[in-house]
Amino acid sequence: MSSTTGLSVLSVVATALQVLAVLAGAPLVVGGMRQVRARLEGRAGGGIGQPWRDLRKQMRKQQITPQGTTVVFGLAPAVVAGSTLLIAAIVPLIALGSPLDPAADLFGVVGLLFLGTVALTLAGLDTGTAFGGMGSSREITIAALVEPTILLAVFALSVPGHSANLAAIVSATANHPGQLVSPGSLLAFVALAIVVTAEAGRLPVDNPSTHLELTMIHEAMVLEYAGPKLALVEWASGMRLTVMLALVANLFLPWGIAGAQPSVLAVPIGLVAITVKVAALAGVLATCEVFLAKLRYFRIPELLAGSFLLALLAVTASYFFATPTN
Amino acid sequence: MTQATYNGVLNLAAGAFLLAAVLIVWRRELRAIVVLLAWQGIALAAIPVTEGIYQDDAALITVGVVVLLLRAVALPLLLIRAVGTEPQERRESTPLVNTTASLMITAALTVLAYAVTRPIIALDPSPATRAVPAAFAVILIAVFVMVSRRHAVSQAVGFMMLDNGIAATAFLITAGVPLIVELGASLDVMFAVLVLGLLTGHMRRTFGGTDLDQLRELRG
């Protein structure tokens, strides 16, 4: 009896720690990527803490709402931030067994990601401006191609473990590291890498630091936000990137994660492990961005169709290349 | 070589084989397509070499080396020479079906290949036959590439990919092709590519281009 209460207390602590770490660390991840890019391009950069300073500056500004917008425009930043924090609580980042484990289904997580995307898309349409509509239509085109690919790629990883529960997938990979070099996992990794860059709005799909409105996808939707709501939208974008990088890190490099019944020592180790993994992935992503140019918009469906095909090949490879030991 | 290593290497080779075919559909630059064909030849050669090492069969390893020299080195070199003399702006081949639709059709062809070869795998389930769907998918994708491209060199690449796919299916299903049969088939392919290269040069001198869709009218 005491062991089960011990399990639930430490799991709840680990889940709360996950959410707090994503909240506090997301601007640092964005700042770190900008700093890596700046250094590689020969600039001094603003420092890793610059996004935190920007958030603080925007929080102090006056809240301005454009005329003619409705409650959709007002609620969208909260919906995006809330859905991202819920994903951060569900997916296994620090420990495997969270209290929300029955909901840690692949389809639930993808649905929550899509909920955030749709909320911002509707807010962009709600403003009634030309740029908002353009950004929303581009974003939903990309999202329509990206969501099936995420589902297929993570499904390919779930085939060896026979379960779509994310904690089960991570523990199956941790117990059989040889699966990582199978064709299914490699193809799924490439497909997920393309998907993360598309979903988080990074190069080559979308340039997050562009000032030219006609080339914007994500920023065009949020052009009309100002003050605290803009701070919340930017924070939520950073959190989405952090959560997706952490999920990819744990799916393919699951070592260091605390078990389903974590001990008091395993939780800080899990926190340090996920921080190191996310920092490394963010650095690699920023380095690749330096050498890439933004794709022209009509070429993005080609790239996403290619990643969908790779994810489909990953699923067929996982099913049909099953080793006799299974 | 252990059973697990044999499984793993064979799966990786078949996976790389199919991936090269998918990338040939995806990329449009002629030079890139020919380089991908060379990589596909290396993946193809890995199959008989792995089987030869696992079964301690020197003839299979010899066949693998012949396949490597021919399909990964000699034939791509011939094709690169046909591409290399193109003017700079003619490097891209404009497909009849756009890239997004081509990739979706490739996905459908892969699923079709897996569905069609299920009875064949059920006859004799072994690690080699379980990789046959990948080789069969490459055959279907190669026919699609030949049909949906305009440029003569792209169609030649499709033809060579078709022959690669047939060779891979033969290696995987029959567990070893005799050296004489493989040499005969390779000689056929080499002659076909030589003729295609000569024809491409002749077309370019006579008509000023190798875009086959523009060769619709009779010249007086």
- The interface predicted TM-score (ipTM) is 0.80
Q: How far apart are CA A204 and CA A215, in angstroms?
A: 12
Residue B121: C-alpha distances to residues A201, B77, B113, B171 (Å): 43, 36, 12, 14
Residue with tokens 């630059």: B29
Say whether A321 and B131 touch across the interface (CB within 8 A).
yes
Say whether A320 and B3 touch across the interface (CB within 8 A).
no
Radius of gyration, alpha carbons of chain A: 20
Q: Which residue of A has its CA nearest to B112?
A: A316
Q: How far apart are CA A75 and CA A284, in angstroms?
A: 34
Q: Does B116 touch chain A (CB under 8 A)?
A: no
B residues 17..76 contacting A (CB < 8 A):
18-19, 22, 26
Per the model's pLDDT, the better-predicted residue between A103 and B187 turns out to be B187
Say whether B14 and A183 touch across the interface (CB within 8 A).
yes
Among B49, B61, B47, B50, smallest CA distance to B16 is for B47
Chain centroid offset of residue A190 CA = 15
How many alpha carbons fall within 13 Å on the CB side of residue B157? Answer: 36
Q: Which range is least confidently modeled, A42-56, A165-179, B24-38, B86-100?
A: B86-100
Of A182, A309, A316, the CB nearest to B106: A309
Say whether A306 and B114 touch across the interface (CB within 8 A).
no
Q: Does B79 touch chain A (CB under 8 A)?
A: no
Q: Is residue B219 part of a domain?
A: no
pLDDT at position A120: 94
At A5, the pLDDT band (50, 70, 90 cuts) reads: very low
Of B3, B99, B107, the CB nearest to A312: B107
Of B12, B100, B114, the CB nearest to A320: B114
Q: How many domains does chain A have?
A: 1
Q: Is residue A325 part of a domain?
A: no
Residue B42: C-alpha distances to residues B71, B72, B97, B159, B212 (Å): 8, 6, 28, 17, 30
Choose, out of B5, B6, B19, the residue to mutate when testing the contact with A (most A CBs < 10 Å).
B19
Query: How far A302 CA lies from chain B's nearest CA (Å)?
Result: 5
Q: Does B104 touch chain A (CB under 8 A)?
A: yes
Q: Which residue of B has its CA nearest to A307?
A: B103
Q: Is residue B187 part of a domain?
A: yes
Q: Tell me if A142 sits within 8 A of A194, measured CB to CB.
A: no
Give the residue-averaged pLDDT of B125-150.
90
Size of interface A-B (CB pairs under 8 A): 65
Q: How far apart are CA A317 and CA A322, in angstroms?
A: 8
Per the model's pLDDT, the better-predicted residue between A2 and A317 turns out to be A317
Say whether A323 and B7 touch across the interface (CB within 8 A).
yes
Q: How far apart are CA B65 and CA B130, in angstroms?
A: 24
Q: How far apart are CA A139 and CA B159, in angstroms?
A: 39
Q: How far apart are CA B177 and CA B127, in angstroms?
A: 17
Q: Is residue A293 part of a domain?
A: yes
Q: What tokens appear for A283 in the block?
A: 């650095």
At B110, the pLDDT band (50, 70, 90 cuts) reads: very high
Q: Is residue B220 part of a domain?
A: no
Q: How many domains does chain B have?
A: 1
Say whether A182 and B103 touch across the interface (CB within 8 A).
no
Q: Is residue B150 part of a domain?
A: yes
Which chain B residues are within 8 Å of A301, Cβ to Cβ? Answer: 100
Q: What angle do CA B146, B148, B154 make, to 5 degrees?
A: 50
Mean pLDDT of chain B: 84
The whole-model pTM stands at 0.86
Q: Does B88 touch chain A (CB under 8 A)?
A: no
DSSP-assigned states of every residue in B98-111: -HHHHHHHHHHHHH
At B122, the pLDDT band (50, 70, 90 cuts) reads: confident
For residue A149, give the amino acid letter. Answer: T
Q: Is residue B206 part of a domain?
A: yes
Q: Is residue B13 part of a domain?
A: yes
Q: Is residue A131 part of a domain?
A: yes
Residue B26 belongs to domain spanning:
3-214
- 3-state SS of chain A: helix, strand, coil percent to 5? 70, 0, 25
Which chain B residues are within 8 Å of A313, Cβ to Cβ? Answer: 15, 18-19, 22, 110
Q: Is residue A124 part of a domain?
A: yes
With 50 as the cut, is the pLDDT of residue A324 above it? no
Q: Which of A90-94, A100-104, A196-200, B137-141 has the highest mean pLDDT?
A: B137-141
Chain centroid offset of residue A56 CA = 23
Residue A306 belongs to domain spanning:
2-320
